[in-house]
Amino acid sequence: MNDNRSVQRCLALLRAFKTQPRQTLAELSKGVELPHSTVLRFLHTLEGEGYVRKEEGLWSLGPQMLDLGFTALRSMGISESVQDALQRLADACHGTVNIGERNNDEVLVLARVSSIRENLRMFVVNLRVGSHLPKESALYRALEVPQDQWCVAQYPEYGQVTVAIPMAVTASRTASLGLSVDSDAYPMERVQGELVDLLRKERQQIEMLMRLNS
């Protein structure tokens, strides 16, 4: 079997767990459109390395994937010091802060931190580190604007507004910094008059911390 093809199939198998964390062999085979025998061979290899495990007939990702994920975040500059800076920003506005980076035609959430008040609200959105947002999102659009500009997106169904600005992590790497807040507390004049300036003020330090850790 072609080695590159094997790698592609193995990666597709790992990605299949995004749709359902625990799956049977039959479900995984159907998801990646490969024979049971091929999928089982990949699973046994991954199991031996700690990347998947089997419990009660169901396969799931193993602890080695978690270690790999943290290593990936560190290589992208998402350190504990960056998380602390994001937490201070989130607490200052009682909102949620995200860092995003382009991934094909979407933006990938590299870091996400919510304020204590936001957590207490039990505000639930299916968004976390590793989530993808579309081109319409403020976090994506901020990747394509100059450093002095900003983007905003309103979500009336959730009672929230998001403002985002670009970040120059390195000479060849661009990310975006976004802040989501309660739209009742922050009408558009406050977003433009306060939040944009706050994001710009914190951007320089976050950029510096990401450069030091990437």
Summarised one tens digit per residue, pLDDT across range 136-156 is 999 999 999 999 999 999 999
The rounded percent of the chain whose pLDDT value lies above 90 is 68
Supply the pLDDT for residue 214. 60
Pick the closest to residue 126 from 52, 24, 18 (CA basis). 18
Does the pLDDT of residue 125 top 80, yes or no?
no
Supply the pLDDT for residue 47. 95
**Mean pLDDT to the nearest integer, 171-193:** 92
Bin 50: left if φ > 0, else alpha if -120 < ψ < 50, else beta: left
Summarised one tens digit per residue, pLDDT across range 6-62 is 999 999 999 999 889 999 999 999 999 999 999 999 999 999 999 999 999 999 999
Contact 115, 86 (CB under 8 A): no
Does the pLDDT of residue 181 top 90, yes or no?
yes
pTM, two decimals, is 0.75
Does the pLDDT of residue 213 top 90, yes or no?
no
Q: Tell me the CATH class for 76-213.
A: alpha beta
Pick the closest to residue 169 from 109, 209, 112 (CA basis). 209
Supply the pLDDT for residue 133. 92
Contact 188, 196 (CB under 8 A): no
Pick the closest to residue 135 from 109, 155, 106 (CA basis). 106
Does the pLDDT of residue 86 top 50, yes or no?
yes
Residue 11, Cβ neighbours under 10 Å: how many? Answer: 12
Rounded to 5 degrees, φ, ψ at 100 are -125, 155
Pick the closest to residue 178 from 141, 214, 211 (CA basis). 141
Q: Tell me the CATH class for 3-68.
A: mainly alpha
Supply the pLDDT for residue 76. 73
Euclidean distance between CA atoms 202 and 177, whole angstroms: 10
Euclidean distance between CA atoms 189 and 212, whole angstroms: 35
Residue 173 is encoded by which pair of tokens? Answer: 């790497």
The Cα angle at residue 127 between residues 133 and 185, in degrees rounded to 5: 95
Residue 140 is encoded by which pair of tokens? Answer: 């994506």
Domain locations in the chain? 3-68, 76-213
Euclidean distance between CA atoms 102 and 90, whole angstroms: 22
